[in-house]
Every structure is written in structure tokens, then in C-alpha cells.
């Protein structure tokens, strides 16, 4: 039995992880080896490319004082939709809202992850 709540928690943690080695390890524990992640500008396939995307987000947002939090999630068979917020780590107004649509394999690893921006932090 796949523990979706655990996957959602670990998913949020990887985006906020300070240590690059722990981020890389977490990617390997969450995504299938040929897993796919797509944000609004680019697609990434495989652990090292997905880690690259997460590292870029870390540098652009977490390193600059933001944190990603899960607002809610919904499950539909082998998929989960996560609504997340990007907020100042010390508290404050939501700076961005997004949705992830994630498809899991039978082993509970992420096969595909599509990001949709609901509120663009650059606007």
C-alpha cells in the first residue's frame, strides 16, 4: 500500500532541502529512475536532471528566504494533485501558488510530475 501522505510530505521537503547531497538522495527516493518533471518552461527526465530543476528552484527561491508548503492534496487512483504555496520562510503573505499533477508507478515512485503556476511570483 502506497502512503500518499508520506510521499506528499517528502515531496515538499525535497524542494526546501538545504543540503544538495540530501536533495539528490531524496530525488532518487521519490522519482523513478526515468521519472519526468515538467515546469512551465522546461522538461527534465532522470534523477540528475530532476535534481538540477530542484536545485535551480532552491537557488531562485529557498536560498532567497522562501519556503514551499503544501496547501492541500487530492488523490485519484495512482495520481495526486498537490496545491502548494511559496511563502517567506519567516512568515508573511503567499508569494506564489502552484499545482503539481503527479502520476505514481505501482512502486510508489513518481513517474511524471507536471507543474502549473496559479500565481506567478515574478508578476
- Chunk the chain into consecutive blocks of 10 residues (it has 123) and report each block's average pLDDT, rounded to whole numbers: 90 97 97 97 97 97 97 95 96 94 96 90 55
Element (H, E) at 53: helix 47-57
Cβ proximity of 84 and 71 under 8 Å: yes
CA distance 38 to 11: 15
pLDDT at 2: 82
All cell numbers assigned to 90: 519567516
Beta strands in 1-109 (DSSP E): 31-38, 43-45, 66-76, 79-88, 96-104
**What are the chain's domains?**
4-119 (3.10.450.50)
- pTM, whole model, 2 decimals? 0.92
Q: Residue 121: its pLDDT value, please?
A: 56
Amino acid at each position: 500500500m502506497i502512503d500518499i501522505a508520506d510521499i506528499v510530505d517528502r515531496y515538499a521537503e525535497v524542494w526546501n532541502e538545504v543540503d544538495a547531497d540530501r536533495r539528490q538522495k531524496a530525488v532518487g527516493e521519490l522519482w523513478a529512475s526515468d521519472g519526468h518533471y515538467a515546469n512551465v518552461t522546461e522538461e527534465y527526465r532522470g534523477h540528475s536532471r530532476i535534481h538540477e530543476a530542484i536545485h535551480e528552484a532552491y537557488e531562485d527561491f529557498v536560498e532567497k528566504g522562501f519556503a514551499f508548503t503544501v496547501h492541500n492534496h487530492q488523490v485519484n487512483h495512482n495520481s495526486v494533485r498537490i496545491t502548494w504555496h511559496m511563502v517567506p520562510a519567516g512568515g508573511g503573505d503567499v508569494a506564489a501558488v502552484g499545482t503539481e499533477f503527479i502520476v505514481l508507478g505501482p512502486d510508489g515512485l513518481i513517474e511524471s510530475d507536471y507543474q502549473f503556476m496559479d500565481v506567478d511570483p515574478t508578476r
